[in-house]
Amino acid sequence: MATPQTQALTAEQVAIPQIVAHEVRREPKGWTSWLTTTDHKRIGIMYLVTTFGFFILGGVEALMIRLQLGLPENTLVTPQVYNQLFTLHGTTMIFLFVVPMMAGFGNYLVPLMIGARDMAFPRLNALSYWLLLAGGIVFYASLFFTPPEAGWSSYVPLSGALYSPGGGQDAWIYLIHLTGLSSILGALNFYVTIANMRTKGMSWGRLPLFIWGILIYSILILLAMPVIAAAVTMLLTDRHFGTHFFDPTNGGSALLWQHLFWFFGHPEVYIMILPGFGIISEVLPVFARKPIFGYKAIAASTVAIGFLSFLVWAHHMFATPLPLAVLIFMMLSSMTIAIPTGVKIFNWIGTLWRGSIEFRTPLLFAAGFIALFTIGGISGVFLAMFPVDWQLNESYFVVAHIHFVLVGGAVMTIFAGIYYWFPKITGRMLSERLGKLSFWLIFVGIITTFLIQHVAGLEGMPRRVYEYPNVGDLAAENLTSTVGAFILATGVLVTIINVLRSLKHGAIAGPDPWRANTLEWFTPSPPPPHNFDVIPEVRSLEPLRDIRAEIARATGVKEPIGTGS
């Protein structure tokens, strides 16, 4: 496209310049161009690929955990290796997979969905990515000396220098610093981009719901991440520089760590799930051929969840010595979160109601998400009631809860997003056949793995144990869970095969294969570096539907116009 002109041009051939450019740069090519790119789409792709790589690593760790727990009193791995495995697994899935995966979707899609040329700060955007990668490398480098083994929540004093002398705990601290900085810079970028760079006509009331999700995600990151950054810095100075913030033998408080960690940790849960809620709110109306039900209620509930997420942290600490007033406050605030979450679920079902639902893979993952996330949401209410939480917390019930929320929830939305936007990103369709196979394996795998874990918890099995005795039904329950984990892993493998195959052999997608409604489908797939040649003025929540209607009116061609008229 941008070949430099060598011939002299005649006067007639010279167009009157509309924009004066000093030079037209060649589009960089080759692998080095990936190192220097500031294009939000390439950075987005790097985020998605990198974090999926970490997802595979975290998944392998999960399978090793499940193999160890497949039999009672198993001796496959040592207690030390087991503790390292679940610490790596939890940390990887949260800090290196779900949070940055959402940043990957956001990077690729925010400018496209709001009709912008790029992110507000393209170089800062590149820095965010490279900080994330550095965090992952620093963390996994600990495999070559001593990986951390104090769990992803790294409670003190166990994570202190006395009980975790190895460098692995420091690698964990640097991971939090690097990925945290990456998230903070990325969130700043998202916020500024969404606030300032929306195209003409895109008022807050016409903002796609995925963008609402990314907006609140960004605000939560900006408020929560600095707290964990401070906490791990205090841990670092406690470990190496003689401070005693968390040292009870020198006037410090071991409980302070839990407060700081969970003040970050609970908003983190919503950081992981709100963009996923947004993905579901984009996918459902497209495949139900119907507008989203209760746009304002869904957007408002996103804001409400974001606000409430800062008022509930001590529900992770109900068993610690806390005053009764704090327990009651945290119980009531935690229960309140169930209301906006319920409102979302009801509105999503309302979106399907009286639609014309096309069962493509993204819709299957979205519907599967509603079915599974409901279980995670309901078990959350049990955990909010502090007397009941005293029995359930720190048991396999809570393991089941977090996995229904994060696997049945966030991972399902991520897969819906992959199947929905893959055609936009690569210009090719994923195989529907493999997609559906992958969905059913993942769906059945999640239920088989995690539903039974509620029971193990109710029977008294605590989390983070490398072995359990052969009493009651624990052996059968854990074996079921292990089998389920392998079904789930097979489902993920099918999607990996699907992606690799479709990159070369997938059907050509065209700009808008789903007859969708948002602006990213207006531009070719994959989009050119500058995103749009022309950006249409936005007049409703469904700008592409408006355009299809306009074309139909102007040409008289009765093309189906997507979500009805």
- 488, exposed or middle or buried, with CB in 10 Å at 0-12, 13-18, 19+? buried
The three-state (H, E, C) secondary structure of 413-455, written as one string: HHHHHHHHHHHHHHCECCCHHHHHHHHHHHHHHHHHHHHHHHH
Q: Rounded to the nearest whole angstrom, what is the least distance from the CB of residue 342 to other proteins in the complex? A: 4
Q: Which sign, positive or negative, has the C-alpha torsion 458, 459, 460, 463?
A: negative
Q: Would you list the DSSP string of 49-94? A: HHHHHHHHHHHHHHHHHHHHHTSTT--SS-HHHHHHHHHHHHHIII
| 547 Cβ contact partners less than 8 Å away, ≥ 6 residues apart | 522, 536
Closest CB to other proteins among 17 and 251?
A: 251
Q: CA 78, CA 553: separation in Å to the nearest integer?
A: 70
Closest CB to other proteins among 222 and 394?
A: 394
Q: Rounded to the nearest whole angstrom, what is the least distance from the CB of residue 464 to other proteins in the complex? A: 4
* Cβ–Cβ < 8 Å for 215, 187: no
Closest CB to other proteins among 196 and 320?
A: 320
Peptide bond into 157 cis (omega under 30): yes
Closest CB to other proteins among 40 and 290?
A: 290
Distances (CA, A) of 28 to 35, 37, 127, 253: 11, 8, 19, 54
Closest CB to other proteins among 170 and 542?
A: 542
First to last CA, the chain: 39
For residue 378, the SS3 value is helix
**Residue 146: count of CB within 10 angstroms of its CB:** 16
Q: CA 172, CA 203: separation in Å to the nearest integer?
A: 42
Q: CA 282, CA 512: separation in Å to the nearest integer?
A: 14
Closest CB to other proteins among 107 and 395?
A: 395
Closest CB to other proteins among 135 and 294?
A: 294
Q: Rounded to the nearest whole angstrom, what is the least distance from the CB of residue 35 to other proteins in the complex? A: 35
Q: Rounded to the nearest whole angstrom, what is the least distance from the CB of residue 141 to other proteins in the complex? A: 22
Question: Which has the closest alpha carbon to 53: 141, 109, 136?
Answer: 136
Q: CA 362, CA 432: separation in Å to the nearest integer?
A: 10
Q: Rounded to the nearest whole angstrom, what is the least distance from the CB of residue 498 to other proteins in the complex? A: 15
Q: Rounded to the nearest whole angstrom, what is the least distance from the CB of residue 374 to other proteins in the complex? A: 5
Question: Which has the closest alpha carbon to 484: 135, 27, 69?
Answer: 69
Q: Rounded to the nearest whole angstrom, what is the least distance from the CB of residue 463 to other proteins in the complex? A: 8
Closest CB to other proteins among 107 and 301?
A: 301
Q: CA 350, CA 294: separation in Å to the nearest integer?
A: 8
Question: Which has the closest alpha carbon to 91: 30, 17, 173, 14?
Answer: 173
* Cβ–Cβ < 8 Å for 158, 164: yes
Q: Rounded to the nearest whole angstrom, what is the least distance from the CB of residue 33 to other proteins in the complex? A: 30
Q: Rounded to the nearest whole angstrom, what is the least distance from the CB of residue 68 to other proteins in the complex? A: 11
Q: Would you list the DSSP string of 516-535? A: --SGGGGS-SSPPTTS-SS-
Closest CB to other proteins among 52 and 82?
A: 82
Could you list the active site residues?
89, 118, 152, 182-183, 266, 268, 270, 281, 315-316, 341, 344, 463
Question: Which has the closest alpha carbon to 479: 452, 459, 444, 455?
Answer: 452
Q: Rounded to the nearest whole angstrom, what is the least distance from the CB of residue 328 to other proteins in the complex? A: 8
